[in-house]
Amino acid sequence: MSEMSFEQLLEESFKTIQNGEVVEGTVIRVKEDEIVLNIGYKADGIITRSEYTNTPNADLTTLVNEGDVMQAKVLKVNDGEGQVLLTYKRLAAEKGSKKLEEAFNNKEVLKAKVAAVLEGGLSVIIDETRIFIPASLVSDGYEKNLAKYAGQEIEFVITEFNPKKRRIIGDRKQLIVAKKQAMQKELFERISVGMTVEGIIKNVTDFGAFIDLGGADGLLHISEMSWGRVENPKKVFKVGDSIKVLIKDIQGEKIALSLKFEDENPWLKAGEKYAVGNIITGKVARMTDFGAFIELEPGVDALLHVSQISKEHVDKPSDVLKTGQEITAKVVDFNHEEKKISLSVKAMDDATEKAEAARAEAAKTEEAVEKAAEAPKAAKTAEPAEEAPKAAETAEPAAEVPKAAETAEPAAEAPKAAETAEPAAEAPKAAEITEAAEAPKAAGPADSAAETTDAAETTVKE
């Protein structure tokens, strides 16, 4: 046997390798874009950035350290520069492919970080194997913004596995649906009508808000958002906010919610506040051709009929009123069962006029009472004696009756005339009676005295 040269002996000491072979080596140097391995061969192994990871522009110095032991697959024994070209990611992909195939067959739930957000879905990587999750399978509903998933760790299952066509499809939707079904079952076993529950505002529309109750969504309709009136839900509620709601109704899988808690019902005390006859103040909320609805407080509206707006004729409420205008009116009708209140401005004006008329009448009555009170004082002040002489003067003609009797002496009947005239001579006594009368009646007795005198004169003539 011939002796071998040193070069032959050295070459014989190194193992032999071939393309496609899996080798193990130790990292002896790391650059940003290259890893050098000692694989026990006469030439070192080289792993470029593109053959280590699918991440663009990755800094390998942050991923691998000197002294690390790793496996790689031989791509070329001689890359043209006397080095062995290796690949790490392809070997990892092969291993990952086997793992994914097992997961696909067993319907195993996998977890991975989102590597890229694509136009039609998400891309995740497991052991350097790409898995595509279409946008329709990302969630149980339409996802408008997939960018929020970037960098997130998500769970999914593989629904299609075809490594030859490099087609591996993931599905996140079915996991979400299954989880929600379990939560929904638990939720419906726990809740009932009348309960107060807490949820998260999931979506807000023009007609209401959808509240996530943890397993099922409930609808908070715009009509149930307040005892008052809500014009635009989007100005009141914000997606993501926590909210406590009342379960108003449950129909199958549909849950109707409300914020109208009974202890806050404004109609509980409306009977006292808005009793018939009360004068109230409110704002014009809306108008129709037949009247205006006045908001007395959130949840309590009253009707001001067009015929009750003014004493003057009003064709339409909008001719004299404006939305938001403050109105003072009188409550003319209250129906608690039907929750209806009727108002009148005209009735309030009538009441004002009646009150003014009553005040005027009261003033006249008071004035009359004052005058009546002063009358007795005036009567007491008057001198009764001053009226008596007048009565006596009035009665003086009766004193002349005796002269008539004297003139009648030649007549045969003179004595009888004199006798007849005697009563007239008593006329002066009438004056005495007059003096004894009250002062206000002084004129009355005097007239009586005058009548007595006339009677006396008539007797004398006879």
Query: 243 and 201 in contact (C-beta within 8 Å)?
Result: yes
Q: Would you call 360 exposed, middle or buried from its count of C-beta atoms within 10 A (0-12, 13-18, 19+)? A: exposed
Reduced to 3 states, what is the DSSP secondary structure of residue 279? strand
Question: From first to last of its 462 residues, what are the pLDDT tens digits of the chain?
Answer: 445 555 555 555 556 788 889 999 999 999 999 999 998 888 899 999 999 988 888 899 999 999 999 999 999 888 667 789 999 988 888 887 888 899 999 999 999 999 999 989 999 988 778 899 999 999 988 888 899 999 999 999 999 999 888 889 999 999 999 998 999 999 999 999 999 999 999 999 999 999 999 889 999 999 999 888 888 999 999 999 999 999 999 999 899 999 999 888 888 888 888 999 999 999 999 999 999 999 998 889 999 999 999 888 999 999 999 999 999 999 999 998 888 999 999 887 766 666 666 676 777 787 778 777 776 665 555 554 444 444 444 444 433 433 433 433 433 343 343 343 343 334 334 334 334 334 334 334 434 433 444 443 443 343
Token pair of 366 as six digits: 């008071």
Query: 200 and 210 in contact (C-beta within 8 Å)?
Result: no
| pLDDT in the model for residue 4 | 56
Angle between helices 414-425 and 443-461 (to 10 degrees): 180
> Which residues on adjacent β-strands are paired with residue 156?
110
Dihedral angle computed from the Cα positions of residues 268, 270, 275 and 276, in that order, rounded to the nearest 10 degrees? -120
| pLDDT in the model for residue 335 | 92
Query: 301 and 294 in contact (C-beta within 8 Å)?
Result: yes
Estimate to the nearest angstrom the gap between the alpha carbon of 309 and the chain centroid.
28
d(CA 217, CA 210): 6
Query: 460 and 445 in contact (C-beta within 8 Å)?
Result: no
